[in-house]
Amino acid sequence: MNDGFSFTLLANEPDPCAPRRGRLSTPHGDVETPMFMPVGTAGSVKALGPDDLAAAGTRILLGNTYHLMLRPGADAVAARGGLHKFMAWDGPILTDSGGFQVFSLSQGERGDGKPLATIDDDGVTFRSHLDGSKHRMTAEHSMHVQMALGADIIMAFDECPPGGAARDVVVRAMRRTSTWLARSQAAMTRSRSRLFGIVQGGIHDDLREEHARELTGRHELFGWAVGGLSVGEGKSDMLRALATTTRHLPVHKPRYLMGVGTPEDLLDGIARGVDLFDCVMPTRNARNATLFTSRGKLSIKGARFASDDRPVDEACACYSCRTFSRAYLRHLWNARELLFFRLASLHNVSFYLALMARARAAIERGSFAAFADEERRAWARAHDE
């Protein structure tokens, strides 16, 4: 019984490390892949309503377990009917495990010099960034929270070491991730959710291969994620480690490259067989006045936009670009108008999702490499030429 979940590829036997066109089905609807997932950190994709998200072409959202467990709390969301109902998003939702945010905090210190989070073989003890309250997170707790939220896709609890971590730290994180995956799978008992495992291994090809083989050999899961990349390592290391990982993942399962990335990163990931991406970049950049366009990024703060009647991106069909000029958006930014954040976020998310749609079409035509080269060339051109 698949309970409405399946993943199918258009081609029967693609190369494990090559562009793929697929369809991920969930009880909340289908997702054509490759697909980008906007991030709804605290039960809201910042500045956007579900109407905006649908208009931008969103098919699946990511929710952050760490943020939601602290506020309003997993059981509070469950009591409201789950995350889909709470935030009025009836498409698929993937939740992360909460581990990444917790580990990010462990890089910081409290006022008294003590770390905000400490990791041991069983899990993580951390303090809330909201009120300093102490929390414990384990694989079992992460599963409890994600099941309470009612996510369609649930991520196993893993340890993601920082980009510059020494090899022994990466190995220890792999071991913990392996143990925690077994515990996650045992604890994930919700029939209307599916679990993704996460492969670690840093930038070390041998570790990436070892971990991918080990985990996929031991666990029959719905899908797999590539973790521990885009965390400070160099781009060439990232791409090599990614390719090594996807080469050793089962072809017919969806692959998710976590927390990535720029539009260029997305094309690089698709080229190496990735199906799903998420990143705060489109929404965070929007809130800093940086807008993505078919001819590269622009900062709408620039004085030259004050008399620019063109839309942000003449190739974009989003509400912001159909309706408003660069001059108006610059004015909204200058006047600190709240509407700016909605229009800019809507545009950037639309840009990411339209890029994914064009990438899917290129894969179907069998010309993804040429498409990606052309996109990169266009982004590299000067904006006002």
**Of the residues 27, 324, 358, 367, which one makes contact with its own copies according to CB under 8 A:** 324
Considering the rule CB under 8 A, would residue 284 count as an interface residue with its own copies? no
Footprint on residues 240-259 left by its own copies (CB under 8 A): none
Amino acid letter for position 144: H
Active-site residue flag, 122: no
Considering the rule CB under 8 A, would residue 361 count as an interface residue with its own copies? no
Contact range with its own copies by CB under 8 A, out of 21-29, 134-142, 251-259, 326-334? 326-334
Of 265, 278, 308, 313, the active-site residue reads: 278
| Rounded Cα–Cα distance for residues 239 and 241 (Å) | 6
| Rounded Cα–Cα distance for residues 161 and 170 (Å) | 6
- Residue 322 contacts residue 310 (beta carbons within 8 Å): no
Contact range with its own copies by CB under 8 A, out of 158-166, 191-199, 228-236, 322-330? 322-330
Query: What are the beta bridge partners of residue 29?
Result: 26
Considering the rule CB under 8 A, would residue 280 count as an interface residue with its own copies? no
State which residue, 56 or 355, has the beta carbon closest to its own copies: 56
Contact range with its own copies by CB under 8 A, out of 45-53, 173-181, 218-226, 250-258? 45-53
State which residue, 46 or 190, has the beta carbon closest to its own copies: 46
Q: Can you point out the beta strands (E) in the chain?
A: 6-9, 22-26, 29-33, 35-37, 39-40, 61-63, 93-95, 117-119, 124-127, 134-137, 153-155, 194-199, 223-226, 255-257, 276-278, 290-293, 296-299
**SS3 state of residue 219:** coil
| Rounded Cα–Cα distance for residues 14 and 11 (Å) | 6
Q: How many residues bind its own copies (CB under 8 A)?
A: 38
* Helix H or strand E encompassing 324: none
Extract the tokens encoding 332.
Answer: 């909204």
Of 96, 275, 308, 313, the active-site residue reads: 96
**Of the residues 44, 104, 106, 290, which one makes contact with its own copies according to CB under 8 A:** 44
Provide the CA 327 distance to its chain's centre, in angstroms. 32
**Of the residues 332, 353, 355, 363, which one makes contact with its own copies according to CB under 8 A:** 332
Extract the tokens encoding 80.
Answer: 């409201």
Considering the rule CB under 8 A, would residue 338 count as an interface residue with its own copies? yes
**Of the residues 104, 179, 325, 367, which one makes contact with its own copies according to CB under 8 A:** 325
**Of the residues 307, 310, 317, 376, which one makes contact with its own copies according to CB under 8 A:** 307
Check residue 294 and report its DSSP letter.
B
Tell how strand 61-63 and strand 93-95 pair up: parallel
**Of the residues 3, 15, 51, 220, which one makes contact with its own copies according to CB under 8 A:** 51
Considering the rule CB under 8 A, would residue 317 count as an interface residue with its own copies? no
Active-site residue flag, 3: no
Contact range with its own copies by CB under 8 A, out of 75-83, 173-181, 199-207, 263-271? 75-83
Considering the rule CB under 8 A, would residue 162 count as an interface residue with its own copies? no
Peptide bond into 254 cis (omega under 30): no
What Cα–Cα distance (Å) separates residue 308 from each residue in 171, 325, 329, 331, 382? 53, 7, 10, 11, 16
> Whole-number minimum distance, CB 350 to its own copies, in Å?
14
> Whole-number minimum distance, CB 336 to its own copies, in Å?
9
Given phi > 0 = left and psi -120 to 50 = alpha, else beta, which region is 81? left
Considering the rule CB under 8 A, would residue 288 count as an interface residue with its own copies? no
| Rounded Cα–Cα distance for residues 333 and 344 (Å) | 10
CA distance from start to end of the chain = 57
Considering the rule CB under 8 A, would residue 128 count as an interface residue with its own copies? no
Considering the rule CB under 8 A, would residue 339 count as an interface residue with its own copies? yes
Considering the rule CB under 8 A, would residue 343 count as an interface residue with its own copies? yes
- Residue 359 contacts residue 34 (beta carbons within 8 Å): yes
Query: What are the beta bridge partners of residue 126?
Result: 117, 135
Active site residue ranges: 96, 278
* Interface ranges with its own copies (CB under 8 A): 42-44, 46-51, 67, 71-72, 76, 79-81, 86-88, 306-307, 309, 319, 323-325, 327-328, 331-332, 334-335, 337-339, 341-343
